[in-house]
Structure 1
């Protein structure tokens, strides 16, 4: 009887283990299934990166996009060739590409003989991209430290652009020193220092009215001694006359060329809302100090964002960055394809 009783107990325990184990396995599978279902959204494939970038930029360029899009839709909806090409030209001029650039682009679209509105739009896109081809949009850094001089008239956002540029360089692993060489404008160095502290970079300043070229020289030497990757020089945007301003800028560049052997970049900051006035400014600064690249600010606040294409085509100076907001990360590299697709997003 003892043996029989023991055998019965063993069989009962075995049965419990089998049933319990099966239940546990079922519950575990269900639980795992629920967890997997909850996690599915987080492992979804990301959207096309270029599409996402173009969409984001289109949002920032809403004013230009809407204005240009409305005019282009009207033109592309025309069944008369004169109205079509005339409308395209008017739309581009209104977006501030400039008369010469707009006329050239439309003539090339016309020469492609598009048979449908979609074909005309495609041809327009291709010609806009062709106009922006072949430019070096990188920040040249031949010297160590790289020497970057930033010029532009007052009020264009020069100081904030310098800080944003320093932040971008820092993200790329390049630490900078800022030179407060705008010694004529009241509180210019204070404004630049505020931004330098915010970004976390050093700044070299001097007393109000000091020689700007000396400040640039001292900043370069400090950057060299401290093994910084770049020195970024802020400059005046207005003196007693245009002649005095250009002479002062020329002196700064000359001193830095003597010390470093060359200046890596002379970046001109333009306010996009000024439109075609930017062409005249670019020519003046280029004649004086040899502008190597353009930064267009306030692109999010204008319906004339086409100036980026016009100024580059007519003067041959590449647009390297555009400002699309007030945040430290709102200075973005100018990418022609993203830019053109953003402009045409509503057409």
Structure 2
């Protein structure tokens, strides 16, 4: 049963008591859906007829999701360039590899760039993923300029006819302005060669409202075009997808729901909400 399903099933049979509402509030808050949306849902529980409640809540949640396209903005001329950004520990590098695998399996010629040059482990991790999925990984020497390796990747992707260039940028604390400025530099350098089509922020689905604050800070430095939420295999935090999109007004494009390389899927808003409510 979905995150909210047991309570909605109960409410469909009898009027919610004050104790029921408090328990449901705790469930909603713990799901990371946010205080504002929690209170809106509780108002629906109090107001709607029991047989219409699930539909009313589903419509309310759908209204929080934006109508922008969730598809990657694929380039018609030259490579599609995707920057993967976020803080360390969110599954950023693995998400870059999963995205590369997703498109490689659909027949695209993909180049991965390891621009997290200050973390040898991140470069090695991406190289290992690349070998497993049959995707080439471009990397520079340790501590080299991330913008320089990103530039080399863009030039190579354009010159050698790659369909997709996915750049794993260095994980950075959203509180460090110099690191945030570096992201802007990477984007400017790449765009000397070819446009950047997507900047995807990777959000750890278990970090809750702090993750949303991180994303908001990133959005102030670079124009985020989409979100990737990882670790959604734990249903207790399932509300974070709606809360993040509602807060940022940036479309959630992919969700990671496990550790395997194929555990990445385009976000299906209607399916996600149905799963929460049933």
TM-score, length of structure 1 as denominator length: 0.74
Superposition pairs for residues 98-247 of structure 1, below 5 Å? 98-107=34-43, 109=44, 113-115=47-49, 117-142=50-75, 144-238=78-172, 242-247=176-181
- The 8 Å contact of residues 112 and 165 in structure 2, kept in 1 or not, is answered as yes
Q: Which runs of 5+ in 1 are unaligned?
A: 1-61
Partner Cα distance (1:149, 1:305) in 2: 25
Select which of 209, 226, 241 maps to 1:293. Answer: 226
More helix by share: 1
Q: Which residue of 2 aligns with 1:31?
A: none
Change (3 A) 1:241 1:342: closer
| TM-superposed deviation, 1:220 | 0.7
Aligned length: 277
How far apart, CA to CA, are the structure 2 residues paired with 1:80 and 1:244? 51
Instruction: Please list every run of 5 or more consecutive structure 2 residues that lacks an aligned counterpart in the other structure.
Output: none
Is the counterpart of residue 257 in structure 1 residue 191 in structure 2? yes
Equivalent residue runs for 1:38-57 within 5 Å? none
Deviation at residue 83 of structure 1 after TM alignment: 6.4
What secondary structure sits across from 1:79 in the alignment?
coil
Is 242-251 or 73-82 further displaced after alignment? Answer: 73-82
Q: Distance in 1 between matches of 2:243 and 2:191?
A: 30
Q: Work out which of the residue numbers 225, 238, 244 in structure 2 matches 1:311.
A: 244
* Offset at residue 71 of structure 1 (A): 4.2
Q: Which whole-Å CA distance do the structure 2 matches of 1:282 and 1:240 have between them? A: 8
8 Å contact kept, 1:72–1:87: no
User: What is the CA–CA distance in structure 2 between the aligned matches of 1:180 and 1:71, rounded to whole Å?
Assistant: 46
Q: Secondary structure of the residue that 1:227 maps to in structure 2?
A: coil
Alignment RMSD (CA, Å): 2.4
- Say which is worse superposed, 92-101 or 198-207, in terms of deviation: 92-101
The offset of 1:290, in angstroms, is: 1.3
The 8 Å contact of residues 200 and 225 in structure 2, kept in 1 or not, is answered as yes
Structure 1 residue 124 displacement after superposition: 0.8
